[in-house]
Amino acid sequence: MKKGLISGLVLLVIGLVCGAVLAGVNAFTRPVILENELRAKLAILSEFYNVDDYEVELIEIQGPIDTVFLLRNKTNNTVIEKAVYSVRARGYQSDIVMLIAVNSNLTIDQYKVVSQAETTGIGDVIVGFDFGMSGQNVQNLDAFSGPTARVSSDAVYQCFEFVRDRVAIDFAGSVPTLDYTFDGVVYNLDEATLLTKPFIATITVGENTPIELYLALDFSFVELVNGTDPVPSNEILADVKLQASQTTTVSRRTYISAFDAVAKSLVVKTTGYNFDAAITITITLNDSLDDVVSFSITSAESYSDGGYDTHGDAPGLENYLMNRYISDQSVDSVAGATFSANAMIRATQLIELFLNRENGGA
Amino acid sequence: MNQKENFLKGFIKENPLFVTVLGTCPALAITTTVENALGMGIAVFFVLVLSNLIISLLMVNPKMQEWIKPVRIPVFIVVIATLVTVVEMVMHAFLTNLYESLGVFIPLIVVNCIILGRAEAFASGNKPLDSIVDGAGMALGYTFALFLISFFREFLGNGSITIWGELKVNLIGLFDFLQITPIDLFAKPVGAFLTFGFILAVIAAITNKKQEKAKAGVK
């Protein structure tokens, strides 16, 4: 017992001595390590600007944005001239790290993919690609023109979204707060107007009653649903566009592109992985416009792979899901072809909304 | 065994990598360049020599030996882990590129069988000076083995030899002269296994030959 206690004490003492040694070495090396890390980060910043022209403040944070460089005016350091963000988002098979520089007027100045390990020849085309974001207001991001490698492009867009969400903190005081609330956005299912004004957003300005706005396919404002309501300010409309694009209740990738009440046909377009070619579903409705009689897939995303696909040759997946839908089976999930399947699921949800409305539903 | 024999046994007779086949994981993983091999070798040298010295000093006193014996493995691990952490911190501060290049294999030196093996098999039962010499010999033997593997891998895989930092010997002209390109496979993990296997085969062939000769001589 006593021997065991002494052995334990010896181990304890050795552990304490080792801890003290480590503390000493850490006190010596830690400042050097921090200085090296700072130097490495400033080297990244010099990709865009001459660091000597500004007083650089470095902010390290947790989350997708790990570092913010605030470039202050050298003579008046209360003025932030630019903010540069080191931001990351998950791509197809790697984290995509970007540097995004924002001017004091919140326009995007420069951006660059600084690190990625996406698929060679497919996802890695994002490096050096001009996404057309320079000059855009970061708080009112438009859809950008990305390469067809959708997952990688989405990650790049997500990086801009992370910066958009952060920028107000860094340029505190420069960004006006808007006195309104965004209440939601839904599909416009009115036969007369749904083609040109596919969405209806509801907002409340100040303490007033809610206002409904017609939005275009890119969520930009078209007109008021009720012409007697006051027109919100441009700043509010810009924010509505931003909020609508972030919602999950509607998607600008899935919409009704044609409706013929005489022929009783409805055309729904929906996009999965291929931004350049949407899936097109042409549906024939019954006389009371509340049920699907038949459908055809006039353009598809799925492709034939020599019979290996469990859903058959193209448009096997699209046909499979539509057949499930019209036979009242669940289409909430499907194995494989995730992006195309999700596009089809969104399409069936939109068709269901349309039929419900014609059937006296919502 | 005199000090010279004690020192040299780590190179050939008891080479930790080629004879006792210890510490193979980092050896296969980091030998993509000669610089990595030398960096790892230096780290192992520092840890092995100092751990042998400290453990030998702890165990040289019979009373201490009696107290430590029941908890010797935790004690060895604490000492080794401390030394490895010191190496890691110093390397992070002053040899950043090498630190990033060696990555997780620096902290993994803690569980390198060579270090714990020498502590248990030699340092815990020998005098401090002998332990230092043993550690130095073993570490240099390990470094030599890493160097040999990395030399072939980098030369065949990249057509160059990176000695340290910017100091690099470009041998791509030799490949151009022979009208062949470097064999990318050697820069990959499979190349590490192939190179290691070839070297072991050569050593085995030489050893067998010697034994045959010795047997013939006896007859």
pLDDT digits over B134-177, tens only?
A: 999 999 999 999 999 999 999 998 888 888 877 888 888 888 88
Share of chain A above pLDDT 90, in %: 12
Residues of chain A contacting residue B94, judged by C-beta atoms under 8 Å apart: 29, 32
pLDDT of amino acid A360: 60
Inter-residue contact A244 to A201 (CB < 8 Å): yes
Which chain A residue lies closest to B77 (C-alpha atoms)? A15
Query: What is the arrangement of strands in the sheet containing A279-285, beginning at the earlier edge strand?
Result: A254-260, A265-270, A279-285, A292-299
pLDDT of amino acid A13: 93
pTM of the model: 0.56
Pull the structure tokens for residue B88.
Answer: 């890691």
Nearest to A29 among B58, B70, B92 (CB): B92
Worst-scoring range by mean pLDDT, A297-306, A319-328, B197-206?
Answer: A297-306
pLDDT of amino acid A18: 94
What gap in Å lies between CA B118 and CA A10, rounded to an integer?
A: 21
Inter-residue contact B73 to B135 (CB < 8 Å): no
What gap in Å lies between CA A45 and CA A142, rounded to an integer?
A: 26
What gap in Å lies between CA A161 and CA A111, rounded to an integer?
A: 13
Per 3-state DSSP, chain A is made up of helix, strand and coil in percentages (nearest 5) of: 35, 25, 40
Which chain B residue lies closest to A35 (C-alpha atoms)? B93
User: Per-residue pLDDT averaged across A24-28, rounded?
Assistant: 93
What's the first-to-final CA gap in chain A, in angstroms? 79
Pull the structure tokens for residue A302.
Answer: 């799925």
pLDDT of amino acid B177: 86
Q: Could you tell me which residues come within 8 angstroms of residue A149 by beta carbon, excluding any fewer than 6 positions away?
A: A92, A118, A119, A122, A123, A125, A126
Report residue A71: phi and psi, to 5°.
-100, 105
ipTM comes to 0.81
Specify the DSSP element, H or E, that contains B79.
helix B72-94
Q: Above 70 in pLDDT, residue A335? A: no
Measured between CB atoms, does B177 come within 8 Å of chain A? no
- Note the maximum CA span of chain A: 99
Share of chain B above pLDDT 70, in %: 99
Q: Above 70 in pLDDT, residue A269? A: yes
Share of chain B above pLDDT 90, in %: 37
Q: Residue B42 corresponds to which amino acid?
A: I
pLDDT of amino acid A138: 83
Nearest to B27 by CA among B143, B154, B155: B143
- CB-CB under 8 Å, A29 with B79: no
Strand partners, B187: none
pLDDT of amino acid A336: 55
Q: What is the pLDDT of residues A103-143, one digit of tens each?
A: 887 888 888 888 777 776 777 777 777 787 877 888 777 66
Distance from CA of B67 to the nearest CA of A (A): 5
Residues of chain A contacting residue B70, judged by C-beta atoms under 8 Å apart: 3-4, 7
Mutate to test the interface with A, among B96, B97, B98, B124 (most CBs of A within 10 A): B96
Pull the structure tokens for residue B50.
Answer: 């100092």
Residues 21-60, chain A, touching B (beta carbon < 8 A): 21-22, 25-26, 29-30, 32-33, 36
Nearest to A42 by CA among A63, A29, A28, A57: A57
Q: Please give the C-alpha separations between residue A144 and each of A9, A109, A130, in angstroms, as whole numbers.
A: 66, 15, 10
Q: Above 70 in pLDDT, residue B128? A: yes
- Residue that has been written with the tokens 């050298």 in this structure: A74
Inter-residue contact A187 to A195 (CB < 8 Å): no
Nearest to B144 by CA among B38, B39, B43: B38
User: In terms of pLDDT, which residue wins out, A210 or A44?
Assistant: A210
Worst-scoring range by mean pLDDT, A71-75, A203-207, A232-236, B47-51?
Answer: A232-236
pLDDT of amino acid B5: 83
Inter-residue contact A203 to A181 (CB < 8 Å): yes
Residue A215 burial (CB < 10 Å; 0-12/13-18/19+)? buried
Pull the structure tokens for residue B63.
Answer: 């009373």
Nearest to A148 by CA among A118, A173, A169, A175: A118
What gap in Å lies between CA A292 and CA B38, rounded to an integer?
A: 73
Mutate to test the interface with A, among B58, B61, B67, B97 (most CBs of A within 10 A): B67
Measured between CB atoms, does A258 come within 8 Å of chain B? no
User: Which region, left, alpha or beta, applies to residue A219 given φ > 0 means left and ψ of -120 to 50 means alpha?
Assistant: left
- CA A258 from chain centre, in angstroms, equals 27
Q: Read off the pLDDT band of B61 (50, 70, 90).
A: confident
User: In terms of pLDDT, which residue wins out, A128 or B214?
Assistant: B214
Q: Above 70 in pLDDT, residue B72? A: yes
User: In terms of pLDDT, which residue wins out, A61 or B115?
Assistant: B115
Q: Above 60 in pLDDT, residue B219? A: no
User: Where are any strands of DSSP class E within chain A?
Assistant: 55-60, 65-72, 80-90, 95-103, 108-115, 180-187, 199-205, 211-215, 221-224, 254-260, 265-270, 279-285, 292-299
Residues 48-107, chain B, touching A (beta carbon < 8 A): 58, 64, 66-71, 74-75, 78-79, 81-82, 85-86, 89-90, 92-94, 96
pLDDT of amino acid B12: 80
Mean residue pLDDT across chain B: 88
Q: Above 50 in pLDDT, residue A362? A: no
pLDDT of amino acid A23: 95
pLDDT of amino acid B145: 93
